[in-house]
Homo-oligomer: A and B are copies of this chain.
């Protein structure tokens, strides 16, 4: 029987290794799996590469993981959002690496990782610093930059409702990076507000099919 429901956050996060690349869903504060991210501090993995659109807000969630010194490198599109304090301090002190990626390219690289592609040509970044050192190719009269996929050893995503099969729905714009990161994680763990018992979610409403999800944990609102 398929049962992906983990009883505790610790159980869901078991086995995450030092040096892992960890994809974390969310845009600003919406859709960040804060419980899982803070659970990762407890879990203890270090030397992580963290992939998120931003780089944490305040001193909780991603910022707390950064402050705990567990992250070697941050991959994001915009690390200096309002309320981002921990990352700028670490970066200024030379204590963390940064790879800054155009937002659509970040997302597409993650999807490419999840979809088994070796790379793609995008118009984004042509003629900018982002294209430095990368192949630029003219295709059908337009220039494109070659970008490579991102895979996560682990993806931590925040859904809304789940079932024992790992199927997920999301809520409003908190959906953001969840579906693509779920695809791109070798091990994908979701925190959700509700677990539907019985026959599973409405198959027409499922956004992330359970095949992409390894563990689901219910958290309080």
Contact = CB atoms under 8 A, between A and B. Distances in A.
Interface of A: 108, 112, 115-123, 137, 139-140, 142, 144, 148, 169, 171-172, 203-205
A118 B122 CA distance: 6
Contact of A144 (B108, B118, B144, B171): B118
A144 B117 contact: yes
A137 B119 CA distance: 10
Copies of this chain in the oligomer: 2
A137 B118 contact: yes
Given A139-B148, A148-B139, A169 B116 contact: no
Nearest to A142: B118
Contact of A140 (B115, B118, B172, B203): B118
Nearest to A169: B204
Considering the complex of A and B, which 6 residue pairs feature the smallest CB-CB distances, nearest first?
A: A118-B121, A118-B144, A118-B139, A120-B120, A119-B121, A117-B120
A183 to B, nearest CB: 14
Given A148-B139, A204-B169, A123 B119 contact: no
A108 B116 CA distance: 11
A90 to B, nearest CB: 29
B123 A116 contact: yes
A121 B144 CA distance: 14
A75 B216 CA distance: 41
